């Protein structure tokens, strides 16, 4: 150990090395083969919160997060004893003097004597706490975005110039029964999906690449003997040269809306028919429809309103017609002979 310390002193006598060491904007430390720190610069003191006096002759393992200690030591052993490369790099955590976690990028290299015997480890430390925080936030946002994309009922697709699927969210499986993973990198033809609706999509993509403007298309698929209707927006995505590189397609299933509109239109048509003047025969009371056919009122209304009829006698007709008729035959209102 005395020999190692003497080597450190001799190394630090080099004015050029000393100046670079002391004034480096990144933390620097000289560590002996026993793991103890022999010299540190001001930058590493700022990063860890400890003074030079507190760090010298102390192991950095003492201020390293417990989960990172063994990995750090393992890499150092390989570097020293197995001569495995000239340096190693590691992202690890220090525990600041005030107790907070400091993420650092640690680069360690070996200083050897003329006989290639290891003398010292030179550690260079960069504070990456802010970068790690930003990365964590970005990863969190990415997970949230992926969750939204995968849980929305809207189909979202990214297509290239050849209409090859570069990205597609999981909503596609519910719509057409094919998992998104099976569609990545393939065209509609390669997926055996070429039909009138996919040709509309391909034409919209070509127009976006040609004009650089968004396009909107209505199309429908017939899945399991049922029509599904979609409204799709195709939006250009530009590269750094302001050229259309990909197209983002967002397809909304509007089947329920289309069916509701159709039902409303049918109801309005029926109302229109019922509000028109109906020709009715003065004798048989049949009515004439738009096709110039005569039919009973019951049949006409059933055809236009899907209404079922039952027949009865209103009180007025009973008093003025039925009751006198029964009386003529000697039958009272209870149905018994008078």
Model confidence at 11, in pLDDT bands (50, 70, 90)?
Answer: low
- pLDDT, one tens digit per residue, over 34-46 is 889 989 999 999 9
Domain boundary (258, 285, 318) is at 258
Kindly state whether residues 91 and 152 are assigned to the same domain: no
Q: What's 95's domain CATH number?
A: 3.30.450.20
Kindly state whether residues 202 and 236 are assigned to the same domain: yes
Our count of domains for the chain comes to 2
Kindly state whether residues 129 and 229 are assigned to the same domain: no
Q: Give the pLDDT of residue 296.
A: 79
In-domain check, residue 274: no
- pLDDT, one tens digit per residue, over 218-248 is 888 877 677 888 889 999 999 999 999 999 9
Q: Give the pLDDT of residue 323.
A: 75
In-domain check, residue 158: yes
Kindly state whether residues 70 and 164 are assigned to the same domain: no
Kindly state whether residues 151 and 251 are assigned to the same domain: yes
Kindly state whether residues 125 and 161 are assigned to the same domain: no
Kindly state whether residues 127 and 149 are assigned to the same domain: no
Model confidence at 54, in pLDDT bands (50, 70, 90)?
Answer: very high
Edge-to-edge strand list for the sheet holding 226-238: 165-168, 155-159, 244-253, 226-238, 215-223
Kindly state whether residues 63 and 171 are assigned to the same domain: no
Segment 140-168 shows an average pLDDT of: 88
Closest of 77, 110, 103 to residue 4, by C-alpha:
110
Q: Which residues, other chains included, contact 73 with Cβ-Cβ below 8 Å and sequence gap of 6+?
A: 61
Q: What tokens appear for 271 in the block? A: 């109302």
- pLDDT, one tens digit per residue, over 127-136 is 999 999 999 9
């Amino acid at each position: 150990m005395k020999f190692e310390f003497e080597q450190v002193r001799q190394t630090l006598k080099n004015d050029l090395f000393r100046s670079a060491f002391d004034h480096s904007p990144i933390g620097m430390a000289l560590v002996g083969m026993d793991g103890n720190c022999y010299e540190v610069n001001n930058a590493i003191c700022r990063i860890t919160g400890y003074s030079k006096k507190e760090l010298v002759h102390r192991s950095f393992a003492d201020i390293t997060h417990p989960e990172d200690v063994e990995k750090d030591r393992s890499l150092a052993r390989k570097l020293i004893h197995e001569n495995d490369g000239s340096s190693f790099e590691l992202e690890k955590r220090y525990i600041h003097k005030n107790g907070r976690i400091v993420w650092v990028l640690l680069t360690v290299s070996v200083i050897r004597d003329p006989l290639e015997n290891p003398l010292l480890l030179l550690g260079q430390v960069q504070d990456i706490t802010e970068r790690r925080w930003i990365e964590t936030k970005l990863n969190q946002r990415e997970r949230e975005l992926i969750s939204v994309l995968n849980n929305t009922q809207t189909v979202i697709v990214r297509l290239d110039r050849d209409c090859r699927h570069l990205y597609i969210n999981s909503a596609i499986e519910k719509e057409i029964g094919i998992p998104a993973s099976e569609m990545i990198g393939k065209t509609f033809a390669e997926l055996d999906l070429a039909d009138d609706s996919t040709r509309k999509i391909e034409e919209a993509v070509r127009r976006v690449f040609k004009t650089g403007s968004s396009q909107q298309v209505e199309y429908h698929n017939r899945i399991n003997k049922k029509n599904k209707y979609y409204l799709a927006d195709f939006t250009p995505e530009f590269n750094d040269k302001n050229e259309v590189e990909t197209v983002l397609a967002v397809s909304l299933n509007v089947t329920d809306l289309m069916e509701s509109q159709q039902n409303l239109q049918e109801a309005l048509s029926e109302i229109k028919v019922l509000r028109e003047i109906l020709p009715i025969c003065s004798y048989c009371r049949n009515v004439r429809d738009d096709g110039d056919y005569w039919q009973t009122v019951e049949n006409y209304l059933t055809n236009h309103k899907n209404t079922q009829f039952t027949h009865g006698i209103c009180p007025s007709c009973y008093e003025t017609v039925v009751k006198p008729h029964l009386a003529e035959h000697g039958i009272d209102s209870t149905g018994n002979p008078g």
